[in-house]
């Protein structure tokens, strides 16, 4: 077997091994996908049940709203009835005008449009009829009882406040109607209000289907201990007629929902077994798949009714109804994502190796940066010394032109040395080789040093540099060299990005929790998005002054890292076109003094 054969077999073996790994990875991923999809399917079924329950709860809530509104409305009707009963007890000789005037104050037509009328129906026996007719015709000569005929008992409508008002006269004997008569007899025997089944109002044209509530009124001082006593003492009934259509509509309007409907039945009166009211949407809702329907028998003022409530699926919001479908969708998506994550985790070995190589390259780059900085610093320092000697006249007299050129070279070399020094500090910082030597330092004096050092540069740019020096010492535990470097960088940065004739202000103070150092300028400012990256390494912001400002983009990075080493942080507040304020916060540690010392 030759070398080529061995190589071929080795290549084939590696391909087979890679293929086996891929197959095993695929099996694991498929298993994870199916398991996750099954879990989400189970959860989707649970969500479907939850939505079904929420739909039922929303349906029940609609029913409760209608029930509560019904009780509140009926309580109002009863108070109106009792007000009318009080009228009859106070004045047995009142007139139709008195009755109408009293009820005008309620403004039924506007506030309660479902009320068709409020009346008083006098209970009259055959023996009392002549006297009763004489009294009523004295008030209204055209008063008659309808329907006519001889009966043992008459209960004609004596007074009526009608809404809307018409010229229809009173006198209709509701006792001739079996539905009304049943309600009157129930009210008279029990002594409490009783409701009729649905009827048509004879005295109010076009009233449609209505019900009437009767409140019995008894003769004053009569015994009311038994049904017989109450029947013997009966004086009449205060009646309140209600338009069923408007009544139910007002109940639904308490919490309107186009996906909720009602069908109202009179269960007590056989001839009225058909629906007496139906919302306009009931039929369409009953034809919708997935609707909810419930029949509820109930009693109102001793009369038995039944309401059929219905709700379509849309009784709950679309977002709620779509939750099962969304769960399946997101479950499928999550299954795919999780399967992909598993695939990535299985392949993490290759990623970690690549990452390790990248870190090695980064470390090599940092070492190269440190080495290069060291190698650059030595010749730059030598150049600085020789140019300085020439400027001091050690090489003989020089012309003004030569002096200017040497000064320019000296300044350029100084800037280069500053950048090299910053690179060295960054290299040491990234390598973890910077150690702070903290000592009790008067921040006020440290700022004063920075102030005087930066005064020359600010004057060259025709700027005003201010220092709000506190009267008392501001003591903190810092490394004087590095903290001085950080503050110096912030002040230098403010001078660079403040136009000529601008101003920069230094200040410091001590609070109960920290020492604060602020550098405020009225320069070009920094927008909110760029404030997030100004402390990143090698970051220089593009603005109208960037071309005139030299720098390496590491000054603020170095400053931020130094402050972080001190346990503090920097807060930037800036408005483009108005200026910036950099505030250094140095929180107290256990070694920090808690009070100021007098200078």
The residue ranges of every structural domain in the chain are 1-89+323-346, 91-252, 350-430, 439-587
pLDDT at residue number 599: 33
pLDDT under 50: residue ranges of the chain: 1-11, 166-167, 547, 590-599
> 255: Cβ–Cβ under 8 A, 6 or more apart, which residues?
62, 65
Smallest CA-to-CA distance from 119 within 217, 22, 229, 1 is with 217
Q: Under 8 Å CB-to-CB from 190, ≥6 apart: which residues?
A: 227, 230, 302
pTM: 0.50
- Fold agreement between 91-252 and 439-587: no
* Distance between CA atoms of residues 54 and 317, nearest Å: 10
280-328: per-residue pLDDT in tens?
Answer: 888 888 888 888 888 888 899 999 888 888 888 777 777 776 777 777 7
Strands 439-442 and 260-266, bridge-based pairing: unpaired
How far is Cα 62 from Cα 88, in angstroms, rounded to an integer? Answer: 40
Residues with Cβ within 8 Å of residue 598, at least 6 apart in sequence: 472, 473
| Residues 229, 233, 236: CA angle, nearest 5 degrees | 135
Domain 91-252: which topology? Beta-Lactamase (3.30.450)
pLDDT of residue 549: 56
CB distance 597 to 475 below 8 Å? yes
What is the CATH T-level fold of the domain 350-430, as seen in this structure?
Helix Hairpins (1.10.287)
- Biggest distance spanned by C-alpha atoms of the chain: 151
Supply the CATH classification number for the domain 439-587: 3.30.565.10
Rounded to whole angstroms, the Cα distance separating 209 from 438 reads 94
Pair 159, 99: CB distance under 8 Å = yes
């Amino acid at each position: 077997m030759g070398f080529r054969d061995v190589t071929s077999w080795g290549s084939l073996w590696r391909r087979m091994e890679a293929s086996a790994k891929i197959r095993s990875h695929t099996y694991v991923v498929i298993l994870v996908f199916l398991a996750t999809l099954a879990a989400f399917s189970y959860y989707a079924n649970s969500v479907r049940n939850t939505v079904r329950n929420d739909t039922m709860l929303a349906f029940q809530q609609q029913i409760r709203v209608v029930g509560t509104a019904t009780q509140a409305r009926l309580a109002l009707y009863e108070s109106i009835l009792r007000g009318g009963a009080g009228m009859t007890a106070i004045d047995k000789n009142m007139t139709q005008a008195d009755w109408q005037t009293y009820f005008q104050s309620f403004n039924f037509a506007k506030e309660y449009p479902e009320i068709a009328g409020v009346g008083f129906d006098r209970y009259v026996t055959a023996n009392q009829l002549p006297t009763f007719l004489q009294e009523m015709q004295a008030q209204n000569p055209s008063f008659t009882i309808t329907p006519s005929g001889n009966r043992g008992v008459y209960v004609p409508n004596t007074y009526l406040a009608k809404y809307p008002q018409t010229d229809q006269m009173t006198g209709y004997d509701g006792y001739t109607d079996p539905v009304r008569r049943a309600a009157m007899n129930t009210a008279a025997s029990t002594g409490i209000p009783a409701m009729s089944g649905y009827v048509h109002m004879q005295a109010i044209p076009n009233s449609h289907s209505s019900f009437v509530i009767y409140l019995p009124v008894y003769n004053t001082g009569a015994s009311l201990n038994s049904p017989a006593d109450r029947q013997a003492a009966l004086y009449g009934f205060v009646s309140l007629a209600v338009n069923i259509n408007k009544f139910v509509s007002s109940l639904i309007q308490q919490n309107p929902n186009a996906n909720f409907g009602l069908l109202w039945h009179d269960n007590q009166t056989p001839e009225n077994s058909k629906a007496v009211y139906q919302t306009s949407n009931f039929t369409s809702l009953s034809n919708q798949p997935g609707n909810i329907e419930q029949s509820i028998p109930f009693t109102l003022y001793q009369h038995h009714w039944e309401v059929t409530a219905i709700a379509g699926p849309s009784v709950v919001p679309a977002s709620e109804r779509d939750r099962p479908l969304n769960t399946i969708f997101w479950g499928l998506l999550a299954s795919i994502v999780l399967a992909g994550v598993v695939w990535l985790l299985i392949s993490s070995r290759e990623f970690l190796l690549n990452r390790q190589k990248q870190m090695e390259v980064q470390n090599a780059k940092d070492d190269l940066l440190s080495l290069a900085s060291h190698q650059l610093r030595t010749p730059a320092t030598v150049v600085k010394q020789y140019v300085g000697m020439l400027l001091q006249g050690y090489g003989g007299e020089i012309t003004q032109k030569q002096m200017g050129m040497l000064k320019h070279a000296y300044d350029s070399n100084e800037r280069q040395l500053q950048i090299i020094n910053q690179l060295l500090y960054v290299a040491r910082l990234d390598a973890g080789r910077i150690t702070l030597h903290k000592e009790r330092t008067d921040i006020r004096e440290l700022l004063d040093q920075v102030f005087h050092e930066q005064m020359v540069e600010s004057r060259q740019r025709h700027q005003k540099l201010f220092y709000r020096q506190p009267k008392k010492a501001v003591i903190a535990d810092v490394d004087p060299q590095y903290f001085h470097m950080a503050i110096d960088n912030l002040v230098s940065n403010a001078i660079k990005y403040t136009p000529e004739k601008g101003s920069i202000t230094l200040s410091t103070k001590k609070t109960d929790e920290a020492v604060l150092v602020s550098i405020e300028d009225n320069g070009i400012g920094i927008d909110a998005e760029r404030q997030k990256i100004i402390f990143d390494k090698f970051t220089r912001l593009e603005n109208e002054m960037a071309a005139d400002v030299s720098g390496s983009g590491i000054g603020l990075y170095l400053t931020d890292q130094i402050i972080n080493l001190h346990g503090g942080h920097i807060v930037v507040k800036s408005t483009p076109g108005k200026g910036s304020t950099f505030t250094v916060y140095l929180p107290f540690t256990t070694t920090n003094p808690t009070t100021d010392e007098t200078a």
